[in-house]
């Protein structure tokens, strides 16, 4: 099957039906192995056992940003290439990205209280992630209140492109401003600043969360295609009545 064939929703649905069980199985296996490695990971010499929160917080942060990245690519697909599945992909990614950003905020807050002495501080990193979450909520409101998906697609694509400006702000906020949040310790010049005994479980958990993201995204895209079919059939029924 050529990649261009995936522009065809029926072929895409057939691909999702075949791929989804394998993707879900792989997600469960990698999660099981990741959690096993997390349990065996040593405490941090400064943060003690609270470093275990990092195995959730960091992948959730990455995927919160990746969700918006998916929506940005989908927005280009909608506005530039008018790809039939682009808006479907964007709409399906929004609640998943919002959920991961929510997990990032909550786990960060629960990690901050014992380490910083506060659940929240208005520093650049925390505030820019909160802005990302609010952008997700705005996107969901736009999608869920629009009756006609064709009308909401263009507005959602523009919002996705505008909101994409926030992604590099999140990434570089810890370098551009003086923040309570620590600087990057995995994706940075000069390599990761974390010991392998903690870095390896973190990367396995990041892979597990990424697989989970794509499993849920594919399933949500399938739902959205079916929802639009239902809408199309109801319109046909109304016309012929």
Residues that bind another protein (CB under 8 A): 8-12, 39-40, 42-43, 48-50, 52-53, 56-57, 60, 84-85, 88, 95-96, 99, 102-103, 106-107, 110-111, 113-114, 212, 216, 219-220, 222-230, 232-234, 236-237
Q: How far is the CB of 223 from another protein (least distance, A)?
A: 5
Residue number, 66 or 220, with CB nearest to another protein: 220
Contact 215, 41 (CB under 8 A): no
- Which own/partner pairs from 167-173 qualify as long-range (CB within 8 Å, at least 24 positions apart)? 167/65, 167/68, 167/69, 167/72, 167/132, 169/124, 169/128, 170/65, 170/125, 170/128, 170/129, 170/132, 171/65, 173/123, 173/124, 173/125, 173/128
Q: Which is nearer to another protein, 80 or 233 (CB)?
A: 233
| Closest distance to another protein from the beta carbon of 28 (Å) | 11
Sequence-ordered list of residues with C-beta below 8 angstroms from that of 119, at least 6 positions apart, any chain: 109, 110, 112, 113
CB of 25 or CB of 42, closer to another protein: 42
State the minimum distance, in angstroms, from the CB of residue 184 to another protein. 21
Closest approach of another protein to the CB of residue 212, in Å:
7
DSSP classification of residue 48? B
Name the minimum Å distance from CB 167 to another protein. Answer: 21
Give the whole-angstrom CA distance, residue 184 versus residue 79: 34
**Least distance between another protein and beta carbon 135 (Å):** 18
- The phi-psi region of residue 224 (left if phi > 0; otherwise alpha if psi is between -120 and 50; otherwise beta) is alpha
Cα(65)–Cα(60) distance, rounded to whole angstroms?
9
Give me 165's structure tokens: 């400006």
Q: Which of 9, 1, 5, 2 has its CA nearest to residue 88?
A: 9
| Closer by beta carbon to another protein, 21 or else 114 | 114
How far apart are alpha carbons 135 and 127 in whole angstroms?
A: 12
- The residue (of 43 and 175) whose beta carbon lies closer to another protein is 43
For residues 188 and 227, which CB has a smaller minimum distance to another protein in the complex?
227
């Amino acid at each position: 099957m050529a990649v261009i064939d995936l522009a065809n929703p029926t072929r895409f649905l057939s691909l999702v039906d075949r791929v989804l069980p394998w993707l879900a199985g792989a997600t469960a296996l990698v999660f099981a192995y990741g959690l096993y490695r997390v349990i065996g990971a040593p405490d941090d010499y400064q943060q003690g056992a609270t470093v275990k929160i990092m195995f959730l917080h960091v992948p959730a942060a990455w995927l919160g940003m990746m969700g918006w990245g998916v929506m940005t690519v989908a927005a280009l697909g909608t506005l530039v290439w008018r790809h039939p599945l682009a808006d479907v992909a964007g709409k399906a990614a929004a609640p998943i990205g919002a959920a991961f950003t929510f997990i990032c905020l909550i786990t960060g807050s629960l990690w901050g209280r014992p380490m910083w002495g506060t659940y929240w501080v208005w520093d650049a990193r925390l505030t820019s992630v909160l802005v990302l979450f609010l952008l997700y909520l705005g996107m969901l409101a736009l999608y869920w209140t629009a009756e006609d998906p064709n009308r909401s697609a263009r507005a959602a694509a523009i919002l996705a492109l505008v909101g994409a400006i926030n992604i590099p702000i999140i990434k570089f906020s810890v370098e551009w401003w003086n923040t309570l949040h620590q600087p990057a310790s995995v994706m940075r010049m000069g390599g990761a600043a974390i010991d392998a005994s903690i870095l390896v479980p973190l990367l396995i958990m990041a892979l597990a969360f990424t697989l989970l993201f794509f499993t849920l995204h594919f399933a949500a895209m399938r739902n959205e295609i079916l929802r639009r079919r239902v809408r199309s059939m109801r319109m046909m029924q109304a016309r012929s009545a």
